[in-house]
A and B are shown apart, each in its own frame.
Chain A
Amino acid sequence: MTAASLSHKPATPVLAARDLSKRYGGIMALQSVGLDLGAGEIHGLCGENGAGKSTFIKILGGLVRPDSGEISVDGRPLALGQRTDPQLISIVHQELAIVPTLSVLDNIMLGMGGTSPFYFAHLVRTQVRQGLDEVGLAHIPLDRKASALSLAERQLVEIARGVARRARVLLLDEPTATLSDAEIKRVFDTARLLRDKGTALVFVSHRLDEVFALTDRVTVFRNGQHVLTERTSDLTSRDLVKAMIGRDLVRGTQKPLSVAADRPARLAIAGLRCGDALKPIDLALAPGEIAGVVGQLGSGADVLVEALAGLRGLVDGQIAIDGRAVVIGSVRDAMKAGIAYVPEDRAGKGIFLDAPVWMNLTASVMGRFSRGGVMQRAAERERGLELAAMFRIDPGRLGSEVATLSGGNQQKVALGKAAALTPRILILNEPTRGVDIGARSEIYATLRRLAEQGLAILFYSTDLEEVLELADRVVTIFRGEVVRSIGRDALDGGEILHDILRGRDDTIVLTQ
């Protein structure tokens, strides 16, 4: 660590981590990195996947013992490799640490520490309520079961836990990844209130706009090494990206396709409804077109893509593909109709982690490689090689289990698995969640190439940058209704935000 990288060091650090190193097998996950954190500071932590952020967080939480280094809170050294006292450092995990079968209060009090073995929920209730009210979390219901909460509410409960513990250091690991913008704002408000009360916060995020909006200083890791720590206001977005990936990112090079009105629609939806989540929706998609569906959580935008993929059972309304009406009631119906789907939860729904790459690639199209029910491995292998080439997957790793690949390569396998269907329409749910910037642009390029070959692509994303980067056309959805369906160049991020937060008419928001 160089002296330069520790410039702007606070006078009395609340958290001081120095010279942390960790080796996994032959790989240096962390190489003597450090971080100093002052009271009342929000500190951004950035880096691509594999930069060492999560190892760093695990070391702070005491889940991983570093090979060397030291950590102190308020000048007192921590015992490394043992669970850290949550009143010193509390971590809000990216994968929510919420137990769905427990009440919100129980969840908040979980792992609270303290010496008394007893736990009387009614005695701590008032105290927790007060603590939450103070930081603007007054609306969190304490007695409801966590399983009854929305994803966003669970995220807030997780933050509330950190608040209730009155931790000196609160570490937020991508707290906004699954949130809509209104909820992100709420998280930010709470973070700022906590900062003003003297808590030191670490904010880990992939979303650069958020880093700039919220943080006072930023630290960047790359390949397990500390790259920079600077005041946020001294940096530009380009500086930050360059620090993260080590080079300038070439982006936005793809020209958007201008939709010719006279082209026959590849996909035409009329009056599609899905329970209360989706009001009758009309939508058309031309061959070669990439459309991005945007909406807050709960707006029904994700329901739309899942319904088209056959995951929502039978839905009302008409769906026509290349002018032919189809009925979609199951995943297999959708596939037969020529629709392929890539889900948002890669590890849970997208790919078979413990199966080799080739088996994943052909998982949805086994029927094409079986003769009398027996698999024809040679034909399968050939197709696997083709798909690997199409998505730039190392053909030498076709036999490896997918779990051994990086996040970006796993997503390529998930995409390849869908592309194997040779679909007419490709539907993507969060196409690059948890994928680092490098692999992301590769995926965008591949998708564009597929579209140029005539494929129609419809994707749902909560990442506005992604929508503006990838979509030819943006479809904004508010409360189950299409607000606008318009070419990308015709609107900017602000207008999209307006659409998905307010809908067409501001007055709708007021009537609850």
Chain B
Amino acid sequence: MQTAQVFSFHGGIHPEENKTQSLQLPLGKPSLPKELILPLSQHIGQASVPLVAIGDQVLKGAPIAANNGLLSSHLHAPTSGTITAIESRPIAHPSGLSDLCIVLQPDGKETWTELKPLPNWQQLDATEVISHLADMGIVGMGGAGFPTQVKLQGAHKKPLSHFIINAAECEPYITSDDTLIREKTRELVLGIELFQHLVQAEQVTIGIEDNKPTAIAALNKTLTECNSKIQLVVVPTKYPSGGERQLIQLLTGQEVPSGQYPADIGILCQNVGTCVAGYEAVYLGKPLISRITTLTGKALNAPQNVDVLLGTPVAHLLAYADLQEKQLNRLIIGGPMMGYTLDSAAVPIVKTTNCILAANKKELPAPAPEQACIRCGMCEQACPASLLPQQLLWFSKSQELEKAEHYNLFDCIECGACSYVCPSSIPLVQYYRHTKSSIRDAREAAVKSDLAKQRFEARKARQDAEAAEKEAKRLARQQASASKAVQTKKTAPATKTTEKSALNASNSEAAPQINDTTKKLKVDVAIGKSKLKKLQKQLVEAQEDERLEDISALQLHVSEQEKALVELETELAKAVKANPTKKPSDTPDNSVEKAKAPANDALKKAKIDAAIAKAAVKKVEKALKKAEELQAPEVDAIRQQLADAKKRADELEKVLDNPSPSTPPTEQKPAVSAAQLDLASQVKKEKIAVALAKAKINKLNKRLASSPEDAETVSKDIEAAQQQLVQAESLLATLIESQHNSQETS
């Protein structure tokens, strides 16, 4: 079975392993702590949104915080009990800062909520199973806490050539994956097969370092028993072979291109812990509420691995492993190479905590004072990413950010191999981290200043336009009254003297038309804005109301609406700009030209509208598809939207087709049709609003049926929604009426 070729990567180091200490005792099961602290950011991406309030009773496994954005994840109650606080607590973070946490006081009963396993997952659609994994709050348990659903879905970007299970666990001291493999071999194999099915990988490889013979034997045995095709590849022990990119190089000989993900070259990497969590989520319906963590270090009398509930304070675990307070000198989350120190033991275990290292002074002595870099090049020989650490240090010290970036600072994986071998004890990794964040800050500042510039310029343009419009209106009024006077006085055929007034008259006709279009655009913008607000409100409501399934759809709507709004605004700006510039070019001779100008405008607008409408159709189609995937309840609404949008697009295209061949346009028709188009778009928007309101009512009704206990609030909501609906409908009616009117007048 170990026939596969093992490649090698540049550099790497061989620190003392120190893995045996924590493997002496069997897997421990600490008691329930007095309280569980559950940070809302246990993963990369945005913090989750709490679903519970202080005083709520929750059952074990019940969701207590919801996914809030693409890279976010759900969070579940690790045990049954009462929510006592939602407040800022110190979290496991290198900064030692606090963050928002849900505090749960266990009632000791460990009452499980209703578990929903997916026994028939093989028959289900992959997306369904993946969304189930998302609902169970599974994130990558190896390091960064990347939400598993995102990773699995990302694997479809390219056909998978390799599916790698990371069991290398190369950091000294840590044995949690080792223990996990030994304890849950069967679950692991089933979990791997589950993931394999989900990502449709032909070949699965488990990469494991050769310093875990017991785990290798257990895996081999189980794989033979299961008659599994999973390949087990033993790689030589070298730090950092457990790094995702390094393991991929070891097993496939391929390198993940800089700035890309393994999925971009058809490789997927999953940690063993994630596989077991996936197994438990699908086979048993258990959300991710506990994990195996190594407690080790010389300050502990009983170093061991423990199966611990998320949120358990570190202090509780240290006590469990019999900590000698006086010995403790450094408390590290993670291993000695990449872990970070803690200020206090009050911080909780999170989904990604694989090790707690309570070291004494002798074990991890304080680093020697930093000396000058003599460019000895030992770091270069150790760097697994083939960087030039000494040059990077030089640039970091002098804050030459561009050069540091040029020397590929961002390919640094912060493994610490360079600092480990540095004879001058330079905290290289800290320099790199600082420089990386400086570069990121600079980039953010650049983006922000760009944005500010845009907004400033947009504002200036708007102010100018407003001023110009006012001026134009004033002029128009003046001239209109003047021309009226002229007309009443002289009704005779046009003479030389009337030439001027003709100019004025035509001007006054053209100007209001352009003003009309701008006005309408403005109305559109206003409507768009209010709609956006509504959608945002709905999103917030959805998040508040725990309607997990709506959130992503609504997020999509919001962004869509924002885009549409931006388009409208630019259109408006264009129209406004076009307005004052057009005037002076008008002469009495080219009145046809003049007439054409608004017509062309209208035509252009119609075209843009058509394009927007088409884009909308596409977007809604996409939304529909996604909604169908997620089986969201608002599918109907979206379908209706889609139909509307399609209809609208067709209409627009028809309109577009009709006037364009008529080369000599009359003065009014296109302008009026533009007006009609605006009206039509308003009508459409209102229609959508109506549809949305209806959908909302439907949903609320559903909820009313499903949860009669909060009937009161729901029915109130329904009432409100109905009111909205009525309003929207009446608005729609008036709009349609005005549309008819305008058609008649034309």
Q: Do A and B come from one complex?
A: no
